[in-house]
Chains A and B, each alone.
Chain A
């Protein structure tokens, strides 16, 4: 069945960088838009970034724009989130999700288990 598995989280200091990965399996990864959504401890969901199926379109939420970069490798069925200039406010569980089900916008129908990023000195 379709599955997403995130990796790369950890504890980092403010101002440093981290790259998250999300491996897709059980579906044709290259045909779906992909998203990153984050959730700070005890808080709600916050959409962070989207990339189109072929990587030609990318968009970001205001809180990460200019610092985070979303990318994908369709040969490796992997989604990435490069996070630079990390701040304490970026502390969150980061989920990757598939934009899979019809509609405008498409619903996020498959989610990974999440990877925790903690930014602390």
Chain B
């Protein structure tokens, strides 16, 4: 099981704002390691969405934003669109296990 916990699902109507939490501990996010977020559209490979907590790669809409505080991080999607329906994963680094790179459990975003 992953050491980064996300809600299994979140949903919202078009135009609404949704947030996805990524809860870790003192051996990963709380130790100061950066958090990255990935979007996985159905049937496709993951795509980097947010890096180093709150930075967007070129081409990612500014509707997506990230934050980090203490042992947790969050991804926010504002102005939700139908094309945002996907799985989202956080990722960080953990020093309590030998699996150093860890992904969150994943969150399915549904646009109502």
Within 8 A of B (CB), among A92-121: 95, 97, 101-105, 107-109, 111-114
Within 8 A of A (CB), among B96-112: 97-106
Q: Indicate whether B21 reaches chain A with its CB closer than 8 angstroms.
A: no
The verdict on A62 contacting B36 (CB below 8 Å), with A44-B105, A44-B106, A104-B93 known, is: no
The verdict on A47 contacting B103 (CB below 8 Å), with A111-B46, A112-B45 known, is: yes
A44–B89 touching, CB < 8 Å: yes
Q: Indicate whether A67 reaches chain B with its CB closer than 8 angstroms.
A: no
Within 8 A of B (CB), among A73-99: 95, 97
**Residue in chain B with minimal CB distance to A64:** B99
What is the total of A-B residue contacts with beta carbons within 8 Å? 83
A105 to B92, CA, bound (A): 7
Q: Indicate whether A70 reaches chain B with its CB closer than 8 angstroms.
A: no
Q: How many residues of A contact B (CB 8 A)?
A: 27
Q: List 23 A-B pairs, Cβ < 8 Å.
A: A44-B89, A44-B105, A44-B106, A45-B38, A47-B101, A47-B102, A47-B103, A50-B101, A62-B98, A101-B36, A101-B51, A102-B52, A104-B32, A104-B33, A104-B34, A105-B33, A105-B34, A105-B93, A105-B100, A107-B48, A107-B52, A108-B91, A113-B45
